[in-house]
Chain A
Amino acid sequence: MALLDWLDERTGIRAATRLMLEEDVPGGARLRYVFGSVLVFLFMQQVVLGILLAFYYSPSATDAWASTAYLNDQVTYGWFLRGLHHHGSSAMVVVVVLHLLQVVFAGAYRKPREVNWWTGLVMGAIVLAFALTGYLLPWDQKGYWATQVATGIMGSVPGGEPLQQFVQGGPEYGNLTLTRFFALHVFVLPIALAGLLGVHLLLFRKHGVTPPDLPEAELQRKTQPFWPNQLFLDVLAMAVCAAVLVGLTVKTHGAELFAPADPASNFVARPEWYFLFLFQLLKYFQGPLQIVATVLLPGAAAVYLFALPFVDRAKSRAVRSRWAVLSGVGLLMAAVTALTAVAIVEDNNNESFQHGVEQAHAEATRARALAREGVPPVGGVAVFDNDPEQKTRNLFKEHCATCHTLEGKGSEEAPTLDGFTSREWLTALVRNPRDRRFYGATKHNTMEPLTTEQASDEELAAVAEYLVSLSGASAAASVDAAMVARGKELWDKKLECSSCHEVEAGKDSTGPTLAGRGSPAWVARIIRDSSQKDLYGDTAEMPKFADKLTQEQIEALAQFVATRKTP
């Protein structure tokens, strides 16, 4: 106590505490007064959680997703803190609405509390702005696309384009969009909200709670002190709210994180649930009428709420005398609820939407698993480069596509690899080996075309079948045995292919051996060194990759090339 006395003498802390806690609640403590306190609690919790998230989050287009995935999936309790922050924002929206309804019901917006009502409305709008700006920060598909729609709306109203550009930091989404949203979300909005909250609380203390509509004497008789009677109820409500949030966070294992934002992808964009009513409204007003849904109706609702103290001409606060105002606000709430419900039902019945959601979840799981290996610094989408197949694709692009084509992309300096294990490829080659699609651009353009006089199309098909049968165990399963026998006979007896090509493994010849042709092992040998005697020999031009790529890389490439299906 001596310490407290010492401190009190220098700071007046006792008087300050008394000033804060000592207040009469006319008519007694009530459960329906708790919402404001719960909001203060939620806001403070959001601030603490937000600061914690900022310890790991990095606001740039290249890092945002990767750092969020790291925070969420690798940092101890990261998922929990992020989840709590995410669900906390939903909780704030819910409690804001409850608070607003309580104020309307009690008539607390009336004289002399108009300014407090307005600061409250502005704070409500700030809570929504928090939600909107926070949604984009993970830079995942959902946040990216949903926010695109929001800024798109901004840009589509007359004169809104400069505003859209200002918010986005330019004509397109990118680094500057993120840094802006980040600055708004973590500095501008919290400071604005805290300032307004200060005013709101001061005004609240000035006017006190709005007591129930009872005779003065009864109010006096039932008066209780704020501390501890009302505060106990407040803290109880906070605890219930926190318990719900923790439960929700554990149950959902935190907040969703979708795959990294990909501007060139499709995504089934939906806003957060509390904006669904606006989203739904948008569907009813099309073309030039769109502005009705985006500006006029929401604007009218906002004006109505702001004007409520003037709209309400009733003599007393009694509920009976204010039925017009109460039903106005009730109607608004009903409309919002109905629109939200319709939006949910429509999406539930929309198969392609459901399919899209499933796909999005699968992609998210894949991306997050790959992110555990580290995300390349070029940006979130580069996480897919960790995928073994993508790694191989990138290898192909880097080392092979300068000469070969695959999946329609690449050069024509060397034979196309699209379908090169197929019958179609083989027959086309034999008929026209000097086409650019085959060996036309290479030194190995010495093979003579096989004319239809030398072998009919039907005979050639049999030979191709025979060659496919040579390519290895997996190919042998799919061939037509009769055709193979026919092809072999033609090969042995009629055609002159064997003067250049061997069909037995290990024998050298001027043309590449056809034993195992197109199998991963055969392709791997070509990649290592195509100038071996039984392969392309002197006519080989392809670089030897034996010491440029690792054994695994070569095998992966060979496997990749040999197993591509004909496009």
Chain B
Amino acid sequence: MSSGSGGEPDAGRRGVLKLGIGALGLGLAAVPAVPAIGYLLFPTGSKAGEGAFLPAGKRSAFAGAVPVRVDLYADKVDAWNKTPDVKLGSCWVLERDGALQAFSTVCPHLGCAVDFDAEAQKFKCPCHRSAFGLDGSVEAGPSPRPLDSLEVKEENGLVAIRLVRYRQGVAQKEPV
């Protein structure tokens, strides 16, 4: 029974050793742990970007007040993959008072894709029963804000739409 702490002459030295073990151990753990934090947080906080105007077809395809669903294509870079000309998303386009109006199909509630119910003349979300009028306003269900309208541009009879994704589940429309 030679070991002991307290008043033994070695006690001070052992205290230093214990401290050393702790400090070195922490240091060893920090070698992967510190970079890991940045590594794992890596793309977080990056914005999806402004969103470019994407061709949506001819103006003549959208005559009339019946919403038309268009898919928008562009080149897409997803981390290390670049895929040319893929479907990035879609939107509902309709004519209101002579002007084109586009709504994102992404439900502002939690992101399901919104359908158009021709009978009821409403946009309806299949997930939690949000319903929206032709002007995009919430008529029923949990959606915290109207359908997200997207910018529409017309040039030489061609329509282009700026595809932007907005934060879901919040009352104000903020791009992600």
Contact = CB atoms under 8 A, between A and B. Distances in A.
Interface of A: 60-62, 145, 148-149, 152-153, 155-156, 161-162, 165-166, 169-172, 174-176, 262-269, 282-283, 285-288, 290, 352-353, 356, 378-379, 381, 405, 408-409, 567
Nearest to B55: A409
Contact of B78 (A152, A174, A286): A174
Interface string B161-176: 0000101111100001
A169 B40 CA distance: 8
Nearest to B145: A287
A384 to B, nearest CB: 11
Contact of B111 (A152, A166, A169, A409): A152
14 contacts: A62-B81, A148-B112, A155-B167, A156-B170, A165-B43, A170-B46, A172-B176, A263-B89, A287-B171, A352-B117, A379-B83, A379-B86, A408-B57, A567-B61
Contacts, number: 124
B60 A266 contact: no
B31 to A, nearest CB: 19
Interface stretch (B1-9, B21-29, B122-130): B122-130
A378 B57 contact: no
Chain B, interface SS category: loop
A218 B5 CA distance: 48
B142 A268 contact: no
A172 B48 contact: yes
Sort chain B's interface into a size bin: 35 or more
Contacts of B89: 263-264
B109 to A, nearest CB: 8
A263 B81 contact: no
A88 B128 CA distance: 29
B90 interface: yes
A262 B111 contact: no
Contacts of B167: 155, 161
B66 to A, nearest CB: 13
B58 interface: yes
B41 interface: yes
A534 B21 CA distance: 94
Given A175-B79, A264-B72, A287-B142, A282 B128 contact: yes
A381 B71 CA distance: 14
Cβ-closest 7 pairs across A and B: A156-B169, A152-B110, A286-B142, A170-B43, A174-B78, A408-B61, A175-B79
Interface in B118-172: 124, 126-129, 141-142, 144, 165, 167-171
B81 A155 contact: no
Contacts of A155: 167-169
Contacts of A61: 78, 81
Nearest to A436: B157
Nearest to A148: B111
B58 A405 contact: yes
B113 interface: yes
Q: Chain A CB within 10 Å — which of B58, B83, B86, B169 has the most?
A: B169
A148 B110 contact: yes
A339 to B, nearest CB: 14
A556 B116 CA distance: 33
Contacts of B117: 352
Interface in B61-120: 61, 71-72, 78-81, 83, 86-90, 105, 109-115, 117
Contact of A171 (B86, B90, B109, B165): B165
Contacts of B42: 169
Contacts of B43: 165, 169-170, 176
B13 interface: no
B72 A152 contact: no
Nearest to A163: B44
Contacts of A267: 112-113, 126
